[in-house]
Structure 1
């Protein structure tokens, strides 16, 4: 059954009716990206009910999608093994899928705009045997960046590759950007601002147990990841370690801190990090926004949640809230921010918290769907937001069993929800 959205706020388009829904593999937050727009054409990817990788495209203003089932399948029993896509500056679609300490699965379209894929390819051939969390990011000039973890949870390092349009080849920029030193690993998110500065944030994890997540760190690069610095401009000696990292926020272990923070940078290059944890003054885990304007890290505790939960154990967890996405934009003289999330308190709908002036802590809550979307987490078309300030969310009702597993749920529609900020009042 399709999710019904509040059309006064958002519009919805259905890509297909047969999306795999027996776990959250299509709707985990670390899909970079589930949707991407290039020159007015929007692309999407998902696993269907027979576990095949399916690609789709449409004119961004159309509700009619063209879909193509590829020859590739994924191990959908593990929700880590999601699909990520991006389009380079020449219009080629890049696709990666099926990773949780697995060898690289990667290919790209045969021609610009095509849904036909090449055979599997290497990137650089180095450190491509144990990948997890592969993510694409697009540079202003059209080159791509590709982040992934090399190694296991609690003991892994961050690798960064770059795809060069001129040569149509990948090079390895960093083979160990953040070093867990055999004791821990970083769970990161990144974003690229309008000037091409790369912003990176992460939490540390000391073991495979999610309860060992702690602290929130930051780094930035102005040269495509070759060199890195703190917000103050102080250069990092690479690799970054727990001793040398800039700490945006100190958060103890066992604070219900989730991994994979959400990262955003506004048009002025200010970084925003969204996640959740239970602060010292909180009675339950709350959504938190950590941001830096004027070279000072600040924390906004949204504070609207009322029910408790506890994080612990391994594997993909069944959690009553989703990890959030964060967006920011200029609204007159103010900075407006929006946090997109899902919470059982609100019936597990697509929800949004909006603050029209970041200097206040006045968050207005609204739901963009009228029915539950299960274990969904928000992913969105980053390129469409950059270009037009239109939010397109990938939405599907999914069910996640704690610690992996197959919920044996019937296939569910794969949809795109569109939302725009309301016009500024004159």
Structure 2
């Protein structure tokens, strides 16, 4: 362990309070010359089990670091690991999860690379063991690693095998009893060598796995199109559409259920987020431009009484266009979404960043009635940040805590000359 990182970030009781009376807990300064610490598809950047919260980030030198705190604590204990990543590529993010026994699982530094995976040496330990394979299958060309915890404490791991415009979705399962990985699906969603699926996934309160995705035909983001859906009630083994009809695997463009038809060149972004309400109905958040308009808007696609409903939130005023490859510098972030069910109906919270609002951390509260209220959660800019949050803390306790760091992204995988910025956990009241 590196002693300079084995310290609580003793800003003591400097609780930085925003204009909306939210609370920021400082973690440590980290790499901020691009958005690798703050991309939306980190699953997860923060994770809590019992009363311990774990955070992961790249340090100012590009080292993989882990931190932990008591969930009511005001500072993090930080440990810089022996591992690093190519932080100049914003795809190469760190994803973490705590299994049912408290071990930390970490996967990092992927953009068409062999699998990088390690596990903590003991429950809640910040020290990682050796880098190992999982199953040894489909692990040579990995991108977008994501962990999900099942109700029994076992884990599901999803990643892309292949490349943009030509890739497949792979799923592995970790058994906490045997402490071993097995492969559930070697090719759940098949691009057929012509396209690939950019997905987002979630687990509902019954352990059903929900996956939605856009198709992309080439490396060019402008070829994103449509929104598809599938779910699994048996941990990823078998899959069905929203009507309960079984898919013949792998799912492809012809057999997929389309929740929304969205043409290419609609400024449709890939890899956003989804959630479910208490009834297990899926809700997908994204953004795109409606035909006849030049302004991309946030949208929510939801399954209501067996029918897909698309809501255009419609509050944005500025136009922009998406095209090309690499990590783009975009004036708005991809959104995260969470849901809360009440006696009066469902409330959805869309977390985002928009240059129209000063590039702050913002949240839109949307009710079933269609009423939308928008507020800012910080009074400072976060640059090119995208939201990720503690999914397990939200599921278990209904507490929303967001990973926040100001970062700057140069278009098409560039890096800025930007001084290291503090990583925070934003506790939303």
Bucket of the pairwise TM-score, normalised by the shorter protein? over 0.9
Q: Return the offset for 1:7.
A: 5.4
Matches within 5 A, 1:196-345: 196-280=207-291, 282-345=293-356
| Distance of 2:268 and 2:101 partners within structure 1 | 39
Determine the structure 2 residue equivalent to 1:58.
Answer: 69
Partners of 1:324 and 1:344 in 2: how far apart? 14
Q: CA deviation at 1:362?
A: 1.4
Confirm or deny: 8 A CA contact 2:63 2:84 kept in the other structure. Answer: yes
User: Distance between the aligned counterparts of 1:231 and 1:74, measured in 2?
Assistant: 39
| Cα contact 2:38–2:385 (8 A) shared by 1 | yes
User: What does residue range 340-419 of structure 1 map to in structure 2 within 5 Å?
Assistant: 340-355=351-366, 357-358=367-368, 360-419=369-428
For residues 280 and 119 of structure 1, the distance between their equivalents in structure 2, rounded to whole angstroms, comes to 51
- Measured against aligned partners, the alpha-carbon deviations of 1:364-421 in whole angstroms (never above 9, x if no partner) come to 110011111000000000000001111100000000000012202100000000113x
Give unmatched runs, 5+ long, in structure 2: 1-13
Contact in 2 for aligned 1:4/1:371 (Cα 8 Å): no
Q: 2-side partners of 1:314 and 1:83: how far apart?
A: 21
Q: 1:335 to 1:9 in 2, by over 3 A?
A: farther
C-alpha contact 2:37 2:94 (8 A) present in aligned 1: yes
Return the offset for 1:332.
2.2
Q: 2:15–2:24: 8 Å Cα contact kept in structure 1? A: no
Contact 2:22 2:377 survives alignment (8 Å): yes
Rounded Cα–Cα distance in structure 1 between residues aligned with 2:234 and 2:292: 40
**Of 89, 96, 100, which residue of structure 1 is paired with 2:100?**
89
Secondary structure, aligned partner of 2:250: coil
- The TM-score normalised by the length of structure 1 is 0.96
1:14 equivalent to 2:23? Answer no
CA contact 1:322–1:341 (8 Å) conserved in 2: yes
Structure 1 residue 281, shift from structure 2 partner: 5.1
CA distance in 2, matches of 1:130, 1:3: 43
CA contact (8 A) 1:12 1:417 kept: yes
Matched residues in 1 for 2:237 and 2:381: separation?
Answer: 44
For 1:272 and 1:280, how far apart are their aligned partners in 2? 22
1:44 matched to 2:55? The reply is: yes
Once residues 183 and 133 of structure 1 are traced to their aligned partners in structure 2, the CA distance between those partners, rounded to angstroms, is: 19
Superposition deviation, residue 280 in structure 1: 2.3
Structure 1 runs of 4+ off > 6 angstroms? none
Q: CA deviation at 1:5?
A: 4.7
Aligned length: 416
Equivalent residue for 1:134, pick from 116, 137, 145:
145
* Matched residue, 1:424: none
1:203 and 1:261 in contact (8 A); partners too:
no
Q: Does 1:67 align with 2:116?
A: no
Tell me, what secondary structure is at the counterpart of 1:102? coil
Show CA shifts across 1:87-139 (max 9, x none).
00010000010000000000000000101111101100001000000000000
Does the CA-based 8 Å contact 1:45-1:55 persist in structure 2?
yes
Aligned to 2:37: 26
CA change 1:234–1:137 in 2 (3 A) is same
| 1:100 match: secondary structure | coil
Which residue number corresponds to residue 423 of structure 1? none
3-state SS of 1:259 partner: coil
1:297-319 per-residue CA deviation (whole Å, 9 max, x = no partner) reads: 00110000000000000000000
Deviation of 1:287 after TM superposition, in Å, equals 0.1
1-side partners of 2:345 and 2:17: how far apart?
29
Deviation at 1:283?
Answer: 3.9
C-alpha change, 1:282 and 1:160, in structure 2 (3 Å) is same
Q: Which residue of structure 2 aligns with residue 121 of structure 1? A: 132
Q: Given the alignment of the two structures, is residue 181 of structure 1 paired with residue 192 of structure 2, yes or no?
A: yes
* Alignment TM-score, normalising by the size of structure 2: 0.95
> What is the distance in 1 between the residues matched to 2:53 and 2:319?
39
Q: What do you get for the CA RMSD once the two structures are aligned?
A: 1.2
Could you say which residue in structure 1 is the equivalent of 2:174?
163
